[in-house]
Amino acid sequence: MELIKANEAVVKAAILAGCTQYYGYPITPASEVAMAAAKYLPKVGGTFLQAESEVAAINMVYGASGAGARVMTASSGPGISLKQEGVSYLAAAELPCVIVDVMRAGPGLGNIWPEQGDYTQVVHGGGHGNYKCLVFVPNCAQEMADLTILAFELAEKYRMPAYLLTDAYIGQMMEPVTFPSECKKPARKDWALYADHDSKDVLISSIYMSTESLEQHNRKLQERYAEIEANEVRYEEVQVEDADLILTGYGFVSRLLFSVMENLRAEGHKVGLFRPITVFPFPTKRFEELAEQGKAILDVELSNGQMLRDIQLAVGKNRPLYFYNRMGGAVPSVAELTDVARKYLR
């Protein structure tokens, strides 16, 4: 066990997952990810390169992934926006990678305080086309490590980009983390270009000149996404069985909501917590089940309600669904959220 900042833990976990390449450009509050990559990757024979821009970095990720390496990058909102074209190319070429988004407040340059305003561009695709990415939403340093390892495994299994969508508070937080004792050594990929005889016939591309071939490629991708939605949904629920009101939120917000739940339980209120761990795939079915049981849901976000739209689609109309939010980097206190929840309990 090690006391470590989450932005640093993500790099150590990546190396243990077999990552050997990092290409990025620094931006607060994600800069420690690049700093840790620069510190640790050369020690294990890997490569760290600070690119001249976010656009260059994501295209270097494309090249490294195409060459069979496990590769990652990291940024925050403005930088993630610049990477979106490259992410679309990665998804189209079926190339795995891991992208860490340590969210800051926006729009524009905004400020460096935590927000959750990148949800839509990451979960529902900021680049062009009909693609999706795996998206994990850790709420602590341990999950930053654990979900990084999982992200590499699933990105490679399904041949697609994977995000860790976190926020400034989680990224900057120092907590105890337990790392695996062994480093993974990924197997050779039959789809990668290794500049050798065995891979000389491999072609990596995202261009399909006929409408028929591109439609067929899109349909293949959609079938893969449906498989992921069937098999890879992850969430945590606490005391939802008897709950009249279920609090839901992801990332740092879920930690606040856990304390709110404990406060209200101590007062005798039947309150539970439902925390998505993946937001693609989204736990649609479980939200639908909870709504059908007649449970009211209070969604709390540090955005204008970007996840709320996914919950609304899951629970349908005429269901008790409430919403509370803060924006601009303002984070509600536990006392504030407890008062909000009391209102809806009444």
Confidence at residue 317, expressed as pLDDT on a 0 to 100 scale: 83
In the chain, what are the domains? 2-231 (3.40.50.970), 236-345 (3.40.50.920)
For 181, list phi and psi in degrees, rounded to 5: -85, -15
The DSSP output letter for 61 is H
Confidence at residue 117, expressed as pLDDT on a 0 to 100 scale: 97
User: Taking the alpha carbons of 246, 105, 113, 13 in that order, is the dihedral positive or negative?
Assistant: positive
Residue whose token pair is 């989450």: 6
What average pLDDT does the chain have? Answer: 97
Q: How far is CA 155 from the centre of its chain?
A: 12
78-82, 124-128, 240-244, 295-299: least confidently modelled range: 124-128
Q: What percent of the chain lies above the pLDDT cut of 70?
A: 100
> Across the strands, what pairs with 280?
135
User: Taking the alpha carbons of 292, 297, 302, 305 in that order, is the dihedral positive or negative?
Assistant: positive
- For residue 116, give both structure tokens: 């959750």
Q: What is the mean pLDDT of residues 192-197?
A: 94
Residue 5 predicted with pLDDT over 90: yes
Tens-digit pLDDT profile for residues 155-177? 999 999 999 999 999 999 999 99
Residue 319 predicted with pLDDT over 90: no
> How long a stretch of residues is the chain?
346
Number of other residues whose CB lies within 10 A of the CB of residue 94: 18
* pTM of this prediction exceeds 0.75: yes
Residue 318 predicted with pLDDT over 80: no
